Amino acid sequence: MASKLRYRLKNVFKLRGKTDPETSKQRDGVIGSSTDSTGPRQASRSPHAQTKIGHFPPELAAPSAAELASLTANPAPSIEVPFPTVPTHQPAPLEPDTFSTPPPPEQSEIVAPLPRDRRHDGFDVKEGQPTPSLPTSSGLETSSQKLQKRLWNQAYDELKVSEVKIVEVYENVLSGELHRNDSTAAMETKENEIGQTQETRWCQMKQLVQVGLERTQRQAAIKQGIEDGLKAISAVRGIVDKAVQAAPEAALAWVGVCLGLEILSNPITEASINRQGIAYVISRMEWYWNLVCLLLDESRVNELSVGLRDELEKHVIQLYKKLLLYQIKSICLYHRHQLAVLLRDMVKLDDWDGQLKEIKDAENVVVRDSEQYNTEQAKLYLWDLAATAHSQEMKLQGIHSAIQDQTRLQEKRHRNDKDEQCLKDLYETDPGYDKKRIQDTKGGLLRDSYRWILDHADFQRFRDDPQSRLLWIKGGPGKGKTMLLCGIIDELGKESANQLSYFFCQATEAQLSNATAVLRGLIYLLIVQQPSLVSYVRAKYDLAGGKLFASINVWVSLTEIFTDMLKDPALEDVVLVVDALDECRTNLPQLLDFIAQASSSSRAKWIVSSRNWPNIEDKLDKTTQKVRLCLELNEDSISGAVRSYIRYQVNQLAYDKAYDDETRNAVEQHLTSNANNTFLWVALICQELRKVSETWDVLDVIKEVPAGLEDLYDRMMQQIQRLGRRNPELCRSVLSTVTTAYRPLHLEELGHLSGLPSNIQRTSDHISKIISMCGSFLTIRDKVVYIIHQSAMDFLSSNTYLFPSGMRDQHHAIFSRSLDAMSRTLRRDIYGLRAPGLTIDQVSQFDPDPLASIRYSCIYWVDHLSDSDPTQRMRHDKVLQDGGAVHAFLKKKYLYWLEALSLLHSMSGGVMAMQKLEALVGNIETQQLTELLQDARRFILSHKQAVEIAPLQVYASALVFSPASSLVRKLSEKEEPDWIISKPNMEAVWNACLQTLEGHDDWVKSVAFSADSQRLASGSDDKTVKIWDAATGACVQTLNGHDSSVRSVAFSADSQWLASGSGDKSVKIWDVATGACVQRLDGHNRSVSYRHLHPGTRGPQSFSKLGCLLS
């Protein structure tokens, strides 16, 4: 090695004046021309000139800094080296593509500047005179390497004593990195495996460096287009690789650099000030590293300089400790749950800028000491390294934003029309808009009303503990749970590192009160933020299309999609928020089970809120990794938040209503004394005060206001009853209708459904006027009427003034008004489409919409009839008798109704409606109505798909391809198209085939009905089991898990369990409701072809073809 270095050093300086024809033309930091040092035109060479790779063979390349230091530390007088003149001024700034001195092996190397000083680290030099001999091989291997090892390890060992906890956490992280390919759970629980002495840990540190270098190489391969940043990283990688090869025992100095490069390359990572510090430290690591070689050459120590050297060594070790600590803390933070970043930056807990300042101060101390101890040559070279580091720092700092921009561009480029259509079909609501609407309805979000939770011990424990995966915030109605979660979402959203999705359940809105909508909302919001995640939905969407989200088995599909999505590395620290679980009215148990399972099996963190309901508590209590935060147990914090809310609301009132100080203070005092820590009560009172026109009446009004929500609701109802003229009855009609409806009603819908007089129904302003008289129970947003709060809904539902005979009478009233409105409004081609082939996707929204006032009625009229009192159905117009209202409607308006259902995307609801009507007339002697209902059901089942695609096909193919004796076809004969000259000859009656179920990809081997006849199971050669809704023909579940053809299926007697036997010699037991495989039974030596479930049992008795009893 020594002879090679001598040869390289000698020939580099001999060849300095020889100019390659090509390279002489190069500029901007590659190589510049220079004359021979012995010639008359000898010129100084810029210390930043580079040798273009490929022009000199490797053996003629300039030595690296470490090699040069080794040479100068061990003089040998056998080679003559003429030293060129060095400029006295500082070198010019680096060119843009200059990254390192020395560069990594694969790049051209920088020729180190050589000073005119005759003394250089161990030997004397005179221009034109021989140089001392080169060192021996032994000196090359020991001098700088030993010093690197000693100083870096000493700095690290001192940190282990002074910063015990943080170094312990760091070594746990490194232990996990040693097992990077292990499972997530294994990595989280990995104990500290890092050796506790220099001798036992250096191999591990070297391994970590190599793993880190390989990882950044792979990342660079997929992050093309970020040239400056990737060149900087490549340069750093080269420095690391070379340094570790030279001094492997000092590898611990470079572990933090490798992991730091990963942080900078991650488009979603730490707070920006931390990234800036990481870029700074990494860019100057070569400077730090070469301090040992250039400043602490032990071979040149003499009695005069030993004091200076010792002081300098002490300061270098202090510098090493500070920069190691910065790297260690950064890496620990990067591997912690990202929730911690936000609050730690807010309170400066990690004080990144302060720590960075300490590092720079320590650098200045070292530089100041070196001024007294080192040669001009060493100081100039050190300056050169610092200048190079500055250039690298700028590029490294920019790589984070560059990668983010590149990621967004790639995602945009890869998104196609299919992705867009998939996202449109997935969309049911935008939780972002729901949040804004809720906040606007409640008067805006006040930070003082929620900031207490950010410092709460339970919230911090959830935030900081990686094992705490579920935060459950629970409390009574009106305690501010929703606004509390709005505040948490806002705070988490301020930090770009947080992946965040949320959903607000609302019982008053059908599309926001079911478990399926919750998952759709969470998935939708994640895809909007990270479009590449749409691939998880596309895997199923490409097979089923938009029907994926409309089928009965949508819950199973979405849980599978979401479970797979949460395994994506980009979502490993995602935070998912679900508000008001108690307002999820459909499939709440399944939603709770999913949250409990997902919080235990993925790295996602969940924040949920609900009332203190036992059924919710029973489910969530099974989750071991949860933190429970009960609002009733935090009265002091809630009280302070309510007081802030009161102060804000009263100040707004005082400004808008021009209260004097006495009135303002009296209002605030009364609200504070009677609020009982309930935000909703305060909001309702303030809403009441806004209606008071004269300020002198304000004090009288607040004195009459009772404390507590129930008493306040009672008072509001009493005020309604005391209204003049017929207004109380109008309010009663509106309130009872809104309370009974299955979803919030549009003003136009509410007008006719509540039976308001025609002169009031005519304009939305008149209907709004009636709503304003209904106390503060109702609110209007975008012409849709909502009940103010779920607690108000509960109060109204049980109010005897609204429902003296219960809600059944109101259901019947809504049904009757719906049937009347549809009979008056529905007609053929109501949108004027004309073309029978025009598809539903081509239909635009009409304004004004002729269906606007009857949209609700078209979908829900049969449901209200079903929920009404049976005796009412017989007394009032005999609606379910032959010739009654329902019979007349179906005879005259059935096809028009189906057209409307297609335009409203609700054909499946029409199928269910016909089945409900059939069930309702089952025990009534209504032959004509019964026959018509049976024919109408067959008609919609047979032509549902065609009419869904093109609404006007209900008058074309649906009629033409129905049996000749079909009652619907006969009654609608005038609707058949006259442009068909020769119509096909159809069967006289509907054939025996009620439905054809399609969905398997291979032969169906076995089918079985459930005991209650509600479900049908099928087993196929495609290795799947499908469960179907026997009434509608919709696929409810697709069960995957067998490795061969499914030969047989059977339900248990209670229809809750399904057994399947397969050619893979196994039997699987499935939960029919959830689709989960609860048990696998093995033991057969041949395929399972028959099995029987005993009534009342869960376990199957299985027989193979050999008759072997399995259980």
Burial-class residue 961 by CB neighbours within 10 Å (0-12, 13-18, 19+): middle
Tell whether 313 is covered by a domain. no
Q: Side by side, which strands form the sheet with 1035-1040?
A: 1004-1009, 1015-1020, 1024-1029, 1035-1040
Phi-psi region of 69 (alpha: psi -120 to 50; beta: other; left: phi over 0): alpha
As beta bridge partners, residue 779 has 786
**Residues 638 and 748 both lie in one domain:** no
**Residues 900 and 1031 both lie in one domain:** no
**Residues 731 and 642 both lie in one domain:** no
Residue 999 to residue 789: CA distance in whole angstroms:
43
Domain at 610, CATH number: 3.40.50.300
Residue pLDDT, tens place only, 494-508: 765 568 999 999 987
**Residues 443 and 535 both lie in one domain:** yes
Residue 297 to residue 119: CA distance in whole angstroms:
13
Mark which of 657, 681, 707 sits at the end of a domain.
707
- Is the pLDDT at 158 greater than 50? The verdict is yes
**Residues 261 and 181 both lie in one domain:** yes
pTM: 0.55
**Residues 613 and 668 both lie in one domain:** no
**Residues 559 and 615 both lie in one domain:** yes
Residue pLDDT, tens place only, 505-560: 998 787 889 999 999 999 999 999 888 899 999 988 888 888 888 777 788 889 99
Tell whether 997 is covered by a domain. no
Tell whether 995 is covered by a domain. no
Percent of the chain topping pLDDT 70: 69
pLDDT recorded at residue 372: 60
- The top-scoring range by mean pLDDT among 463-477, 666-680, 694-708, 800-814 is 800-814
Confidence grade of residue 599 (pLDDT, cut at 50, 70, 90): confident
- Is the pLDDT at 1096 greater than 60? The verdict is no
Tell whether 80 is covered by a domain. yes
**Residues 864 and 931 both lie in one domain:** yes
Strand-strand pairing, 470-474 and 626-630: parallel
With contact defined as beta carbons under 8 Å apart, do 853 and 825 qualify?
yes
pLDDT recorded at residue 810: 94
Residue pLDDT, tens place only, 785-820: 999 888 889 899 999 899 988 899 999 999 999 999
Residue 409 vs residue 885, higher pLDDT: 885
Residue 374 vs residue 89, higher pLDDT: 374
Residue 580 vs residue 924, higher pLDDT: 580
Mark which of 120, 135, 150 sits at the end of a domain.
135
Average pLDDT of the segment spanning 738-746: 94
Cα pseudo-dihedral 1040, 1044, 1048, 1050, rounded to 10: -30
- Is the pLDDT at 222 greater than 90? The verdict is no
SS (H, E, C) 311-366: HHHHHHHHHHHHHHHHHHHHHHHHCCCCHHHHHHHHCCCCCHHHHHHHHHHHHHHH
Residue 358 vs residue 432, higher pLDDT: 432
- Is the pLDDT at 612 greater than 50? The verdict is yes
Residue 549 to residue 558: CA distance in whole angstroms:
8
Residue 316 to residue 152: CA distance in whole angstroms:
10
Contacts of 164 (CB under 8 A, 6+ apart): none
Tell whether 810 is covered by a domain. no
Residue 1030: give the domain boundaries: 1004-1104
| The token pair that represents 786 in the structure block | 């909502």
CA distances from residue 180 to 188, 265, 373, 654 in whole angstroms, order as listed: 11, 18, 45, 62
**Residues 627 and 639 both lie in one domain:** no
SS (H, E, C) 519-541: HHHHHHHHHHHCHHHHHHHHHHH
**Residues 584 and 505 both lie in one domain:** yes
Average pLDDT of the segment spanning 427-456: 86
By mean pLDDT, which of 369-373, 644-648, 771-775, 1065-1069 is the weakest? 369-373
Q: Which residue has the tokens 């990737």?
A: 230
**Residues 659 and 677 both lie in one domain:** yes
Sign of CA dihedral 29, 35, 37, 40: negative
Mark which of 744, 772, 804 sits at the end of a domain.
804
By mean pLDDT, which of 372-386, 831-845, 1088-1102 is the weakest? 1088-1102
Residue 337 vs residue 17, higher pLDDT: 337
Confidence grade of residue 297 (pLDDT, cut at 50, 70, 90): low
- For residue 91, say if its preceding peptide bond is cis, omega within 30 degrees of 0: no
The secondary structure of 1017-1043 as a DSSP string is EEEETTSEEEEEETTT--EEEEEE--S
pLDDT recorded at residue 698: 86
Average pLDDT of the segment spanning 67-75: 37
Domain at 796, CATH number: 1.10.10
Average pLDDT of the segment spanning 627-638: 84
**What is the residue-averaged pLDDT of the chain?**
75
Confidence grade of residue 901 (pLDDT, cut at 50, 70, 90): very high
Strand-strand pairing, 784-787 and 500-504: unpaired
Residue 545 to residue 549: CA distance in whole angstroms:
8
Residue 356 to residue 107: CA distance in whole angstroms:
30
Burial-class residue 3 by CB neighbours within 10 Å (0-12, 13-18, 19+): exposed
Tell whether 879 is covered by a domain. yes
Tell whether 990 is covered by a domain. no
Burial 293-331, CB ≥16 within 10 A → b, else e:
bbbbbeebeeeeeeeebeebbebbbbbbbbbbbbbbbbb
Average pLDDT of the segment spanning 246-275: 62
**Residues 664 and 747 both lie in one domain:** no
**Strand ranges (DSSP E) for 121-278?**
123-124
Residue 789 to residue 681: CA distance in whole angstroms:
11
Tell whether 306 is covered by a domain. no
With contact defined as beta carbons under 8 Å apart, do 904 and 859 qualify?
yes
The secondary structure of 790-831 as a DSSP string is HHHHHHHHT-TTT-TT-THHHHHHHHHHHHHHHHHH--TTTT
Number of domains in the chain: 7
Residue 972 vs residue 76, higher pLDDT: 972
- φ, ψ for residue 564 (rounded to 5)? -65, -40
